[in-house]
Structure 1
């Protein structure tokens, strides 16, 4: 009897997005602590095209990329206490076979139940940007009525982070393209600055008056984050969501700021059981908040699974508005 196969996009070393090939692979069976998920929705993230372009030391020819997906559990290992047919979302480790496939093999502890009120495509849009935003905000000590800046609030991470910060009781300022301005203000953002205007930092200083920022959340780059450090006040926090600070951006014993890096993927290699418990609780909270309308998910635009490389090219070039999502059919054995 032949082994069942499934369709997956696979990676070619050194070939970038042009080297993605639609292949048919043998369907794996889960180990004792694993589950096999039939994907029903797959979301694209910037980390996907970056890893495909850059490669990783632990990737070989035939690696399946992709970190975010939603699907149905169709098989589970002997140590897994999860019902077959459960609907789950996940953020897959970069080192493992990813979500750009009809099926994905995952560690059971890396799954997040999806609320009944949340559709598959919306749920798929949340794990990577939502949990990254949550981890970034969690770097700040609990505080209220302080000023923070979120750069890139037109993107999924910045959009969700800005909303979470408002809900925490912070006074939130953001940078974004002008087309996002009115919508962001409706979400309770204190002010929106056009990042293409070289004078926006001065405009922010004028809006703050005598106050200084308590936190800066940067989604651009390490060098960009360093350039924003002078906006922070005493004991402020510089949170890098892209890159990290290899050296202190300000003189010693000046404003005494704290430096933070955010690395969601690192939990797969370095997180313990308690770390995963906290992350699953955060994922559940994010999804419930979207399901009941307290949190708005990023806008979505759809593409066909067969056109995945082209959708990644569009994401890389900044085309479109919102999360790129593809739908796959629910497996016949479950439907």
Structure 2
């Protein structure tokens, strides 16, 4: 079978498509014939060496993918051949609180990676995906969708009448927009592109802000909310945007800290104190969250936003497409 490996050093050009023996499931495991994959910014950071410069090579990247169960190991009863499933981001995080042990099981970061034609996973670490989704749509769920669900629904308890601020138009932000709308919340979206903002409005955002044209977008958000601020901020920028997010959030509001797309830096913590703001780090989510989210997606027939689908053999091109930052929503890969 064909497997992608990062060999000899970091960088997209170091990815190689190699032949490896077909894996077999041991006790408690399942064998998946992969159908589709999706990319996260973490994948690009891992390949470029900025996520973990001490990563042991060679390694197989990607955390997100959907496949068909083609074989099960001894003792597996919750799944059977023929089912279409996705691996969860951290196979050991089934429910409850996150622990250091659970984080070490994350896919595509040194342990099992999904960028292969066949993958063996723990049977407890996979979930069936909604029937109405295409393979490519379903492949976008394990990281970005679960992260947005965890931030807004599981921890944020978003409800009708709330106002949610989303930053950018990547996968997490657009899933957050969609989940907020399912909950009856108002969404204010930001982007550097008027064209992307128009598409966000089509998805249900009430207002859009071009942050290149409006440098003090945090203050503008307050003006859009009659000086009050938003209830929730889905913060994917990190230190470079957190100051504006703290200006935009209401007294006693919530910021879900998810990404570091704007890079590192220093942040004045005073507004967190003075505004009684809850800032919570969100590191994807558990299997229980994934299953609850799938139920809502199926009930509302919600469809993820897929920007472009590449072939499996075009993974380097897909990563370069992500690197350019022109995508709207998720980038996917398909078998053919």
1:246-285 aligned at under 5 Å gives the runs 249-251=269-271, 253-264=273-284, 275-276=286-287, 278-285=288-295
The alignment status of 1:110 with 2:125, answered yes or no, reads yes
Structure 2: gaps (5+ residues) = 90-106
Rg larger for: 1
| Alignment partner, residue 304 of structure 1 | 311
Please state how far the C-alpha of 1:199 moved relative to its aligned partner. Answer: 4.0
Q: Aligned to 2:20, which of 14, 25, 29? A: 25
Q: Tell me the secondary structure at the aligned position of residue 28 of structure 1.
A: coil
Q: Is the 8 A contact 1:69 1:91 kept in 2?
A: no
Please state how far the C-alpha of 1:202 moved relative to its aligned partner. Answer: 3.3
Q: Tell me the secondary structure at the aligned position of residue 303 of structure 1.
A: strand
| Alignment partner, residue 38 of structure 2 | 43
Flag the 1:236–1:49 CA change in 2: closer, same or farther, 3 A. same
Give deviations 1:58-106, integer Å, cap 9, x for gaps.
8432211111111111121212111112111224423422111101111
Q: Is the 8 A contact 1:13 1:60 kept in 2?
A: no
Flag the 1:117–1:233 CA change in 2: closer, same or farther, 3 A. closer
CA–CA distance in 2 between the matches of 1:311 and 1:252? 38
Q: Aligned to 1:226, which of 240, 243, 246? A: 243
Flag the 1:256–1:185 CA change in 2: closer, same or farther, 3 A. same
CA–CA distance in 2 between the matches of 1:67 and 1:26? 21
Please state how far the C-alpha of 1:302 moved relative to its aligned partner. Answer: 2.0
Please state how far the C-alpha of 1:57 moved relative to its aligned partner. Answer: 7.2
Please state how far the C-alpha of 1:179 moved relative to its aligned partner. Answer: 0.8
Q: How many residues align?
A: 310
Give deviations 1:87-141, integer Å, cap 9, x for gaps.
1122442342211110111121221213333221111122221111101113224
Please state how far the C-alpha of 1:203 moved relative to its aligned partner. Answer: 2.7
Give 4+ residue runs of structure 1 displaced > 4 Å after superposition: 243-248
| Alignment partner, residue 271 of structure 1 | none
Structure 1: gaps (5+ residues) = 1-5, 268-274, 330-335
Flag the 1:79–1:95 CA change in 2: closer, same or farther, 3 A. farther
CA–CA distance in 2 between the matches of 1:254 and 1:61? 46
CA–CA distance in 1 between the matches of 2:86 and 2:121? 11
| Alignment partner, residue 89 of structure 1 | 86
The alignment status of 1:193 with 2:203, answered yes or no, reads no
Q: Tell me the secondary structure at the aligned position of residue 227 of structure 1.
A: helix
| Alignment partner, residue 99 of structure 2 | none
1:157-176 aligned at under 5 Å gives the runs 157-176=172-191
Q: Tell me the secondary structure at the aligned position of residue 270 of structure 2.
A: coil
Q: Is the 8 A contact 2:66 2:84 kept in 1?
A: yes
Flag the 1:132–1:61 CA change in 2: closer, same or farther, 3 A. same
- TM-score, length basis structure 2: 0.83
CA–CA distance in 1 between the matches of 2:292 and 2:173? 17
CA–CA distance in 1 between the matches of 2:273 and 2:217? 27
CA–CA distance in 1 between the matches of 2:70 and 2:253? 47
1:145-184 aligned at under 5 Å gives the runs 145-152=161-168, 154-176=169-191, 177-184=193-200
Q: Tell me the secondary structure at the aligned position of residue 47 of structure 2.
A: helix
